[in-house]
Structure formats: C-alpha cells, structure tokens
Structure 1
Amino acid sequence: MMKCVDLFSGCGGFSLGFQQAGFEVCQAFDHWNSAVTVYRKNFKHPSFLMDLRQEKEASDIISEIQPDLIMGGPPCQDFSSAGKRNPALGRASLTHSFADIVCQVKPPWFVMENVPQIKRAKILKQVIDKFIQTGYGISSIILDAAYCGVPQARTRFFLIGHLQDKHNQLNDLFKQNLSDKPMTIRDYLGNSLGISFYYRHPRNYNRRGIFSIDEPSPTIRGVNRPLPKGYKLNSCDPQNIDLSQIRPLTTQERSYLQTFPESFIWQGTKTNLEQMIGNAVPVQLAKFVGQIICQYLDQGSGKTPTLFDLEEEFNLAQIPLHRL
C-alpha cells in the first residue's frame, strides 16, 4: 500500500478519495483551524495545523515517514474565476511552497490540484520547471468531475509527477476511464432529496439560478444563499416553475454533491462548513485520480521507469495540457 501525505488538506476530500483508491494516508497539513478540526474528527492519522510556508519544518516532518506520494490543492482563490485572479495577492506563493516541499522530500509521486485558470499564470511554468529539474516526468489534465463519478460539473486541473519517468504517461489512461456521459444528481442520489429543482445563487442575476436534479450540479462554491424575495425567473431558468417550492440545498446536501459520505462528521459554523465543503476536492474525483495512478503501476508501466534527458530544454508549451 502506497503511503501518502495531504498538503492543504482542508476537511479531507483528497485524503478520503485516495484512501478509497487504496492508498494509506499518513499525514495531513493545513493552516485553517476549523478545517483541521473537522479533518481530525474523520481521520486517525496525524493532522498538523501548520503554515506550509514553513517549508523546511514541514519537509522534515514528512521526510520521516518517506511517503510514496504527496498530494495537495494549494489555495486557488488567486487564480479562480470566483476570485480576483491576482496571483500577486500572496496565496499563490503557496503553490511554490507545495513544489518546494515536494522537491525537498522527493517522493516517487506527487499530485497537485487547482482551478483550470492556473494554466494562464506564470507560476505554473515556474513550478513545472522546478519539478522537471528535480527529475519528475509530468502529466497534466483538466478533468470535468461529472465524468469521474461526481454529480457536479466542476472542472479542475491536475498536475501529476512521477520521479524519473517520461512526460505524459498518464494522459491516455485518464481518457480511457472517463464515463461516457455526465453524472446527474438523480444518478447519484436518486430521489432522496425530495425535490426536482433547487436554487443555487448566481454571481449575477443575468445568470441562471434554478437547476434540476436531472443534470449535474454546477460547481459547489463556498457560499450558499437563500432564494431572494421577489426572485424572477430569467430566460436561463427552467420555465413554469413554482418558486414557492424552490429552496437552496442544505449544507449536508451540498456535501453529498461533493461526494462526501453520509457518515462524514461535520462540526463548526454554517459559514465555515459551507466554505470548506466548497473548497474541497470531491471525494470521488480524488478517488478517480488515485485509481489512475494505481492502474498505471499495475500495468507495469511505472515499475521500471525510463530515464529522460534532464539536459533537454522543456517549456510549458511542450507539455500538453489536456482538457477532456
């Protein structure tokens, strides 16, 4: 069983998904006390409350267990369409911290998750250069979670590294394992919600606010607001809807759309829980990625990796960023 460490672990979506894929999660790190509290309620291994800009301290702790894989989703607000898209705000530097910790510990594998907008940020090329200089072969892909066992149209970028391997070794496996059609809420939860339509607060009122359970949910965000008084259906909404019967999803229901199990323990204020659920990597999406790595190893592709010439010039344009 491969040992792994979860950086920027939040409430544990990445950890739980990799556990379900057959990995042994041994450590987790996060700097948000509320998320660490929830994480500790649901996992037995150590969870450290730590600012990961303390790279040496974190690397020393992680190196003691010699993990096979380090995973993590550095904070994405500075790249996200829901944020200000300004990498200079400071949180983007944590992407460098993730890369620096990986390059200091040098596990055989790493997995980094972020929003697709990171493709347009200089920081992505910078961290890829660090990984390549350390000896990692890189695979990169943008996945729609709805094709990976999640009832949610959530696109996320994954950068996966395997020490002393060639580039792009996992891309075909990702494509081969995607489902043929997106998963709907009804596919995943049946009729357990007791509703056919629900409200999800739009970023502005020119956008759709009413959604059906017979489609994937839009991306679960860190905010969840009630249906405003006087809300009027716009042309994007399903028509002939009785608005008196429409409600937003509850915090618990939103956790289900992030594919957390019913048994997962949530503790904290509603505001904090909504944020940590919205920030989480969907459990089944993490499981999907973990299973691809296991499949690669089971096929024997990863047992005797081929060394590539580290002297060769690489740039981001030469490493395809696949969108599925």
Structure 2
Amino acid sequence: MSNQTFMDLFAGAGGLSLGLSRAGLTPLYAQDVWLDAVNTYKHNLTGHTVECGDVADLTLDHLTVVLPERPNWIVGGPPCQGYSTVGKRNREDERNRLFEHFRRIVNHVKPDGFVIENVLGLKDMSFQFEVSQAFKEIGYNVHFQVVSAADHGVPQLRRRVLFIGHQSAEFKGLDPKLSADEYVSVEAAIGDLPALEPGESSKIYTKPAASPYQKHIRNGSKTLQGHSASKHPPHLVEAISHIPDGGNRTSIPDHLQPKSGFHNSYSRLASWLPAVAVTQNMGKPSGTRCIHPFQNRGLTTREGARLQSFPDTFIFTGPTTSQRLQVANAVPPLLAQALGTALLDTTRWA
C-alpha cells in the first residue's frame, strides 16, 4: 500500500486532502464547484491540478488530460441524501445526481478504491444498503462505518459516516485512537489564542502554547489569520455574560432573554470537553453552542479552524462568512489523516 495516490472530488477547502497527504498519500487532482473553497485549497495545497467546476461536466477525456496517472483512490463527499429512503428516490434529485456522477467517475477511472465521507444524519439502513449496493454493482467491496472525530484527536464531537471500497480487499475499519477521558478539550485547543472583545481582532500570539495540541496546531506559524470576533450589540454581550462555562440560556435573566433561538442557542462551549459540531454560524451567539467558554462573544474563524484541527498555517481566503462556511463544511484534517494512515496499513485489510 505504499506510494498511494488519490483524487479529491467535492474537495471544499481541502481538509480531506490535507489529512490524507499528511498520512503519506499523494494528491493528483482536486475539484469543487465553489470558487472560494477552491481558492483556499489552491493557496494551501500545491503541486497538483485543482479545478473549479461542476462534477457533472467532468469527463473521462478531461481526466485523461489532467491526471498524470490513474489514481489509486477517488475520495470525496458527494451528497447522498436522496438515497436515504428506499422506494422514494427521485432520480432527478440534485443530491442523487451528484452522488451518481461520483459513482460514474469511479466506474470510468476504476481506481483501486474509493472513500465517501458524509454527514451522520444520513445514517439509516436504507442509505447504508443503497450506497453500498451501488458500488458493489461496479465491482467494489464496501465497508460502512460511523466515526467520531474526537476519537482521533480532533477537539470536536463531530460524527461522520464513511464508505471505504476496494476492488480486491476488504477494509476492517478505522479504530479509535483515544478514549473519552483522553479527548482534546476546547480549552486545550484554543486557550492560547489572544483574548478578544466583540469586534476586536489579533494577528499575533500573546502567550506560548500550553498544551500538546496547541503546540502541534501552531505548526511553526508566526502570525494569526482569521482571529477576528464578530461585533455584538451591548445588550447581547450583557445577556451572554451571565452564562457560565458550559452553561446555556437558562442563566440569562428574564429581562435580557433573547426573543428567538432554539434550546441550544445562546450556549457556551464547555472548556473541559470537546466542542459540539462546528457550524457556519460559529460567530453568532444564537448559533448552536458556539459562545466562547470564557469570553462574551461567538467564535472566530481561527477558533473554528482549531476545533476542526486545521493548523494555524492553513490560510482561509474569501469573505469572513465564506471562510466560516469553508471551515464548517470541511473534513477535520486529523480525522482524514487517521483514515489515510489506516488505508496504508496492510493489517487493516483482509
């Protein structure tokens, strides 16, 4: 399993490619339809072709031109929601169309294997069976698994589904690296970053790394990118100031209670635990548990990137709202690296 190569479809900002590369696989090609994400990918991951385009327009003839060789792996996160209900699939569903184009390219290129990564919300028996069957029909043994990012050193309780297929072998699965009492906490992930008031930003480190994760994630970076806090109105800052570390909106006095939001809106991250799933609304206190554990504000893009396990040297480009969506949509690089390491481990195959 040495000298393995891959191409990444639905590549986004490059979290999956970054992790697989760090595990020792070599990227040959990447594509995504979102220009902002493609620009971020190109800024950080070089040495191979990265294109902005619709997977529906990706032909075998074009791939023959842009690929230096046939990749061992095709990886990506094609939407599969349209496959999650047996008997009700709409073949015109955009989500089916994208998945079927991913399968079409796998069938045309015929890599040794493929990886599909997707959201946990798709996990049901029909979804698992339908997607697996679609690839078995074109000659692949398919392993399905639910994984937790926290099990692999990511300071976030994000759970994802994986399909790993191979033409000549069967994958035994990705084993957890950490137990629950070894998880990386929010404080261990972002506690070294400069404190900010709402509306403030910082481009310099003001204190040394205080945890192994912080030392790892700084990755030799000398400056900070994306550490800018959203500006909140004074009444909102006062309201969230009443919420303790790990607490929720029930601690806000009645006269300051926000008039809208869900039960998990206006909640602080617990400093001693991994974060919940990072979302594009990380900068908004009304988002899903995204208030800083100690500071009276939402998270910065860099804090979100830290919780997704992107190194500080990884630069997100485009408008702030776009950067936060890129972070939220990404595969955590440490999870991708653990997957890549397992793919290269001959003992993980039967």
Q: Which band: TM-score by shorter chain?
A: 0.7 to 0.9
Residue 320 of structure 1: aligned partner = none
Q: 2 CA distance for matches of 1:262 and 1:162?
A: 34
Q: Are 1:93 and 2:143 an aligned pair?
A: no
- What SS does the aligned partner of 2:137 have? helix
Q: Are 1:283 and 2:333 an aligned pair?
A: yes
Residue 10 of structure 1: aligned partner = 12
Residue from 264, 289, 306 that aligns with 1:207: 264
Taking only aligned residues, the RMSD between alpha carbons, in angstroms, comes to 3.5
- Cα distance change, pair 62–121 in 1 and its aligned pair in 2 (3 A): farther
Residue from 50, 55, 61 that aligns with 2:53: 50
Higher strand share: 1
- Cα distance change, pair 280–76 in 1 and its aligned pair in 2 (3 A): farther
Residue from 280, 293, 299 that aligns with 1:222: 280
Residue 319 of structure 1: aligned partner = none
- Cα distance change, pair 14–286 in 1 and its aligned pair in 2 (3 A): same
Amino acid across the alignment from 1:218? V
- Cα distance change, pair 78–191 in 1 and its aligned pair in 2 (3 A): farther
Deviations 1:51-94 (A, max 9, x none): 001242465457652101111012478799xxxxx997523421
Residue from 37, 40, 49 that aligns with 2:39: 37
Q: TM-score, normalised by structure 1?
A: 0.76
Q: 2 CA distance for matches of 1:242 and 1:43?
A: 30
- Cα distance change, pair 246–105 in 1 and its aligned pair in 2 (3 A): same
* Matching of residues 99-248 of structure 1 within 5 Å: 99-120=103-124, 124-166=128-170, 169-171=171-173, 174-175=174-175, 177-181=176-180, 182-192=183-193, 194=195, 197=245, 204-207=261-264, 209-227=267-285, 245-248=295-298
Counting matched residue pairs gives 281
- What SS does the aligned partner of 1:153 have? coil
Give identity over the alignment, percent. Answer: 30
CA contact (8 A) 1:18 1:290 kept: yes
Instruction: State the structure with more CA Rg.
Output: 2
- What SS does the aligned partner of 1:101 have? helix
Tell me the CA shift for residue 151 of structure 1: 0.2
CA contact (8 A) 2:283 2:299 kept: no
Q: TM-score, normalised by structure 2?
A: 0.70
CA contact (8 A) 1:74 1:95 kept: yes
Residue 316 of structure 1: aligned partner = none
- What SS does the aligned partner of 1:128 have? helix
Tell me the CA shift for residue 215 of structure 1: 0.6
- What SS does the aligned partner of 1:99 have? helix
Tell me the CA shift for residue 192 of structure 1: 3.7
Residue 274 of structure 1: aligned partner = 324
Q: Structure 2: 5+ residue runs without aligned partners?
A: 85-89, 197-243, 250-257
Residue from 305, 315, 335 that aligns with 1:265: 315
- What SS does the aligned partner of 1:113 have? strand
- Cα distance change, pair 199–256 in 1 and its aligned pair in 2 (3 A): farther
Q: 2 CA distance for matches of 1:262 and 1:94?
A: 32
Q: 2 CA distance for matches of 1:242 and 1:48?
A: 36
CA contact (8 A) 2:309 2:332 kept: yes
Q: 1 CA distance for matches of 2:336 and 2:79?
A: 16
- Cα distance change, pair 54–135 in 1 and its aligned pair in 2 (3 A): same
CA contact (8 A) 2:246 2:270 kept: yes
CA contact (8 A) 2:186 2:275 kept: yes
Q: 1 CA distance for matches of 2:324 and 2:144?
A: 29
Tell me the CA shift for residue 256 of structure 1: 1.1
Q: 1 CA distance for matches of 2:117 and 2:24?
A: 19
Tell me the CA shift for residue 244 of structure 1: 9.3
Q: Structure 1: 5+ residue runs without aligned partners?
A: 81-85, 306-324
- What SS does the aligned partner of 1:183 have? coil
Amino acid across the alignment from 1:247? R
Q: 2 CA distance for matches of 1:246 and 1:61?
A: 52
CA contact (8 A) 2:83 2:126 kept: no
Q: 2 CA distance for matches of 1:193 and 1:218?
A: 22
Q: 2 CA distance for matches of 1:178 and 1:34?
A: 33
Q: 1 CA distance for matches of 2:72 and 2:94?
A: 29
Tell me the CA shift for residue 165 of structure 1: 2.3
